[in-house]
A and B are shown apart, each in its own frame.
Chain A
Amino acid sequence: MDSWVLLVAAYALIWAFVFGYVIWLGRRQAELRREVELLRKAVEGEGGRHRRDQ
C-alpha cells in the first residue's frame, strides 16, 4: 500500500477519534447542564411549596 495513503489514514484516524471524543464530551456536558437546570427548578419548586404549607 502507498505510504502516503497510510500516512493520511493515520492522521485522519487520529483526528476522527479526537473529534468524536470531543463531540461526545460536549453532548454529555450539555445534557447534564440541562438536567441540573431542571432539577434545580424542581428543588426550588419543592422548597416554595414547603414554605407555603408551613
Chain B
Amino acid sequence: MIARERAGLVLGGLSGLAMLAAIYMALVYAPTERTMGALQRIFYFHVPVAMVAFVAFGVAFVASIGYLVSAERRWDGLASSAVEIGEVFASLVLLSGMLWARAAWNTWWTWDPRLTTTLVLWLVYAGYLMLRNSVEDEGRRARYAAVLGIVGFVDVPVVFMAIRWWRTIHPVVFEASGVNLEPAMLTAFMVAMVAFLLLFATLLVTRVGVESLADEVEYLRRRVQ
C-alpha cells in the first residue's frame, strides 16, 4: 500500500469519527436557539461547508501559482482536484442555505450580496471545470486553468466580506468585536469545523491519487501505441 493510500485511510477514519461527533454536537449537545428554533442547527454544517469551500479554492489558488511558476504537472493536478472538491462544497452551501432561507425569509432565494457573490463563486469554478474539459492540449489546459484558478479566487474574500461591506439580511455571526454564539454553540461549531476539514483532507488526498492514476494511464497508453 502506498503512503498516499495509507494517509487516505487514516484521514478517512478520523474524519468519520469526527463527523459522528459533529452530528451529535449539532443535533443533541448544542442548545436550541430561541428565535429560529431547530432550524438554526443547519448553521453547524452550513458554515463549515462554506469555510471548507474557501479553503479548497485557496489550495487551488496556491497550486495554480505553483504551476505557473514551475510548470510541474503535480501542481495542476492539485489545483484541479481542489477545485472539484470546492465546487461540491460550494453547491452544498447554496443548497443548504436555500433550505434555511425558505424557513427564515420565506423564500428559497433572494439577491442578497452574500448569496449573489456565492453564486458568482460557484459559477466561476463551474467555468474552471468546463474549461478543463474543453481544451485538448495538456499544457494549454493547465495554463488557462491556472490563470482562472488565480483570478477566480478574488471572489472568495468578496464573499466573506459581503455581509460587512454591503447592507444584507444574511446573519452575521463572526464580527470584529467577537463571536455571536453561546459557548456550547461555539464548541459544536468548532467540532463540525474540524470534522469538515478532515473530510476535505481525505477527499483531497484521494482525488490527487485519482489524478496521478489518470496520468499513469495516459503514460502507459502512449507506450503501448
Seen from chain A, the residues whose Cβ lies within 8 Å of a Cβ on chain B are 1, 3-4, 6-7, 9-11, 13-14, 17-18, 21-22, 25, 28-29, 32-33, 35-36, 39-40, 42-43, 46
A3 touches which of B23, B36, B213, B220 (Cβ 8 Å): B36
B213 touches which of A10, A22, A29, A46 (Cβ 8 Å): A29
Asked if A14 contacts B49 (CB within 8 A), the reply is yes
Smallest Cβ-Cβ distance to B223: which chain A residue: A43
| Number of B positions contacting A (CB below 8 A) | 34
Q: What residues on A are CB-neighbors of B96 within 8 Å?
A: 10, 13-14
B38 touches which of A3, A9, A40 (Cβ 8 Å): A3
The prevalent SS among residues of B at the interface is helix
Bound: A3/B43 CA distance, A: 13
Seen from chain B, the residues whose Cβ lies within 8 Å of a Cβ on chain A are 23, 36-39, 41-42, 45-46, 49, 85, 88, 91-92, 95-96, 99-100, 102-103, 199, 203, 206-207, 209-210, 213-214, 216-217, 220-221, 223-224
Q: What residues on B are CB-neighbors of A3 within 8 Å?
A: 36-39, 103
Asked if A10 contacts B100 (CB within 8 A), the reply is yes
